[in-house]
Structure 1
Amino acid sequence: MTAPMPTSPPEALSTGTGTAATAGEIVGDGGSFRSTILDRLGRARSWIILGVLLGTAVLIGALAAGSGEREPLSPENPAPEGARAAAEVLGRSGVDVVRAESFDDAVDALQGPDDTLLLHDPDSWLSAEQLAALGGGLADRTVLVEPGLAALTELADGVRSAGVVPAGSEEPLPADCANPDARAAAEVSAGGLSYRGPGTCFPLPQDDGANPAGIFVTTADETVAVLGHGAIMSNGLIDDEGNAALTLRVLGSTPTLVWYQPTAEDLAVTSGPVDPRSLLPGFVDPLMFWLLVTALIAILWRGRRLGPLVAEPLPVVVRSAETAAGRARLYQDAGAVAHAAETLRSATLIRLAAALRIPPDGPRSSVVEAAGRRTTRDYTDLDRLLNSYTPSSDAQLVQWSQELEKLEQEILRP
């Protein structure tokens, strides 16, 4: 129990008369369940507010990240790096723009006649098998936006990468080719990646006599177009130079446009998990077998067989009553009346607290108040008996202990 704490007697006990506890009265510290919950919620109010704010921020961030409206070159993204303007203009021009959310959606959308596939996979989520499936004659025309090596190998025969366009290239690039779409655009903004192929348009300035590299390249049959500068389709640059003309002519050449931007969910699933044992060297299995045999031999060699347990009688059996009496004699010989009184008081308070359903670590005043409600005694007398009174002689200690025992019997009796 904690140290004594001065308390004010309850109003019901301050009259000095006292009333017997009714059958429906709550035994304990007097607090209701509702008041206890409200008190604890009030103490944790700051943590609750912080948790609500943190959860709201996480929810908003998750919704914003999963909406897809902030993805570059997305047909639903109205930001400068999005391509919503191009998609809406194509839709108003009679082109059915289909946004493919997955690989299966893209394959299903390409089953009809006269369609164009726009593939923008800067992170190379698609495998070679998936790219080959998209290039198996599903689309009448394919537009690859900033493709990697795998996409070029599977979909753009004869086109190869030529590196990054130098950062200092700020002047627009002229078409300088026979492709009608490029000639209609005349010139476009410089940037992005460059490629070389059968039909190279918008070539980069160069001093040597090597084959030119451009940001727009087509295959020999012109069924596959490679666009190295995808930003010319974005909302921020589509109004510059001839960017809009090239974008709308390349993407709007067929009645249907399938706009596909792969994500991590399109990763091809392997046939099964990798066996960890296949990653270990070949000598591990024989070594583990040899260690197991060695351990068994060591167990047989060093093991000891124990016999049955033998019950050995104790030399002395000391009863609890004798222990208590011996401790009392020690207190008496030392004249430790105050120490003996504190020991009796603590034991009584612990038993009363358990009977009155009060936590053992609660204040003594709670036990006094609960004892007053259970008995007909005055609050002041109970506080003196259980809290403040300390005997100074053996006779007072005996008389006070008898009063404690009488009070305990009143509370513990049925």
Structure 2
Amino acid sequence: MIEQETHDVATEVLSDGGSAARTAHTRFRQLAPWLALGLLLVLVVALGFFGRSGQDGAALSPVNPAPAGAMALAEVLADRGVEVVQAESLEAAEDALSNEATLLLHDPDSWLSADQLGQLSGVADRLVLVEPTTIMLSELAPTIRQAGLIPAAEADGALPAACQVTDANAAAAITAGGFAYRGDLICFPPASAQGGPPSGSYAATAGQDIVALGNGAILSNESIDREGNAALALRTLGNNPVLVWYQPTPADLAPADALVDPLNLLPEWVNPVMLWLLATGLLAVLWRGRRLGPLVTEPLPVVVRAAETAEGRARLYQDSSSLDRAAANLRAATLIRLASRLRLPATSSVAEVVDAAARHSGRTPADLDRLLRTDAPASNAHLVRWSQDLDSLEKEIDAR
């Protein structure tokens, strides 16, 4: 009986450590962090590629309904009889332009070269430059010059027209912010410009065929209804039956142009995802880096001390929290040694070993039955105390 029970315990311990469900649960727990990390990465990529609404997400785009877009202004212009044409390329913009058209050019990233900008000179009845750069002004509006930024202290206020331009006077005032320019006609000067060379958020040539708007935000959905932004935008862009709305993209880059920063070509979500991956990678290195390297092979036979084997198995039990299996192994070994010392046959049952141990130790059968059969340690500390009790019992038997 003892031999059979010991054989069952040994078989159970030396197998895969438990049932298929327990093994699957253990492996799933080990792989759970990696599965969660992979699922989160897939979710972020999916949201980046498929979570878009199908609308153009560019700032001041005439089909972008977001706060930074300009869809509201484009729809109002269309309701007033202006044909708003969104040009997808330089060629499309040139084809749509005529002597009865207004061209709105917004190129904050300077995708167009000087030669490409020269192709747009004089092809429209009116040219409206939104926050133009120096190269745009030099090629398309030489009489208009940059005059710096409008101070942040004025960004929350309003700029009065303070000029004789009809479109500006109709607006009376616009929200402050953006850039200031100098030209033949200047409107909406910032307070900081007083006492120095005149400049304003609105600058135009003498014939008003070229206009520079220093604050593109006045065209956006979130700001078009503030102050006189709508009046200035509608009168500036709606004076012709056709409005060509052109915002260059990387596709407009000329082949001979110098290379631009490749980071500008990436979607906006790439940088946050890269930082997140870097952080998770460092955490993974710190987490897994404590593990030992690959196993070192040694020629057989290898002599391993019994103490090392016992300690290694104990650590395996501890790491896997296998208290029940460690207790079963200790109980079986104790029963085998007690049966040998009490000169009982190997076929003796646990009850026979308990009775014999009670006679030789002076303990009650109930106490020994609890210790050798029913006691089940529930924690590491309990397991240590229980193993010490087993050892004390064996020492008592030896002493008698």
* Matching of residue 141 in structure 1 with residue 150 in structure 2: no
Q: CA RMSD in A?
A: 3.6
Q: Deviations over 1:45-87 (max 9, x none)?
A: 8566754552242032134579563321111222222111101
- 195 and 70 in structure 1: CA distance in 2 versus 1, 3 angstrom threshold: same
Using the TM superposition, give the Cα deviation of residue 101 of structure 1 relative to its aligned residue in structure 2, in angstroms: 1.7
2:139: which partner in 1?
154
Match of 1:199 in 2: 185
Q: How does 1:76-155 map to 2 (within 5 A)?
A: 76-110=63-97, 112-135=98-121, 137-155=122-140
Q: Which residue of 1 aligns with 2:228?
A: 242
Higher-Rg member (1/2): 1
**C-alpha separation between the residues in 1 aligned to 2:214 and 2:128?**
10
Would you say the 8 A contact 1:80–1:236 is kept in 2? yes
> In the TM superposition, what are the counterparts of 1:49-60 in structure 2 within 5 Å?
51-60=38-47
Q: Distance in 2 between matches of 1:106 and 1:179?
A: 28
Distance in 1 between residues matched to 2:206 and 2:92, nearest whole Å: 29
Map Cα deviations across residues 173-208 of structure 1 (whole Å, 9 max, x no partner).
Answer: 111212111111111111110000001111122475
Aligned partners of 1:55 and 1:134: how far apart in 2?
44
Structure 1 CA distance for aligned equivalents of residues 161 and 230 of structure 2: 14
The DSSP-based 3-state class of the residue aligned with 1:203 is coil
Deviation at 1:214, TM superposition (A): 0.3
In structure 2, the partner of 1:225 is 211
Contact 1:117 1:139 in 2 (8 A): yes
Cα contact 1:116–1:140 (8 A) shared by 2:
yes
Structure with the largest fraction of helix: 2
Instruction: Tell me by how many angstroms 1:6 deviates.
Output: 5.5
Deviation at 1:99, TM superposition (A): 1.1
Query: 1:68–1:151: structure 2 CA closer, same or farther, 3 Å change rule?
Result: farther
- Displacement of 1:108 in angstroms is 2.0
Q: Would you say the 8 A contact 1:143–1:224 is kept in 2?
A: yes
TM-score scaled to structure 2, two decimals?
0.54
Deviation at 1:100, TM superposition (A): 1.4
Give the C-alpha shift of residue 116 in structure 1: 0.8
Aligned mate of 1:254, from 221, 226, 240: 240
Give the drift of 1:211.
2.9
Partner Cα separation in structure 1 for residue 146 and residue 53 of structure 2? 32
Q: 1:165 aligns with which of 131, 138, 150?
A: 150
Give the unaligned 5+ runs of structure 2. Answer: 1-9, 13-23, 260-300, 302-400
- Which TM-score applies when normalising by structure 1? 0.53
Kindly tell me the number of residue pairs found equivalent between the two proteins. Answer: 246
1:104–1:67 distance in 2 versus 1, CA, 3 Å: farther
1:357-396 alignment, distance < 5 Å: none
State the distance in 2 between where 1:122 and 1:272 align: 17
Distance in 1 between the 2:87 and 2:50 partners? 20
Counterpart CA distance in 1 for 2:94 and 2:193 is 44
The residue type paired with residue 148 of structure 1 is T
Percent pairwise identity: 51
Select the residue among 44, 47, 71 that pairs with 2:58.
71
Distance 2:136 2:258 in 1: 26
CA contact (8 A) 2:104 2:127 kept: yes
Q: Distance in 2 between matches of 1:270 and 1:196?
A: 32
CA deviations over 1:72-127 (Å, ceiling 9, x no partner): 111122222211110111111111111112222222222x4411111111111110
Which structure exhibits the higher relative contact order, with contacts defined as CA atoms closer than 8 Å and separated by 6 or more residues? 1
Contact 1:157 1:219 in 2 (8 A): no
Q: Is the 8 A contact 1:206 1:212 kept in 2?
A: no
| Corresponding residue SS for 2:65 | coil
Change (3 A) 1:218 1:58: same
Task: State the one-letter code of the partner of 2:177.
Answer: G
Q: What's the CA shift for 1:263?
A: 1.8
SS at match of 1:214: coil
Judged with a 3 Å threshold, the aligned counterparts in structure 2 of structure 1 residues 133 and 168 are, in CA distance, closer, same or farther, namely same
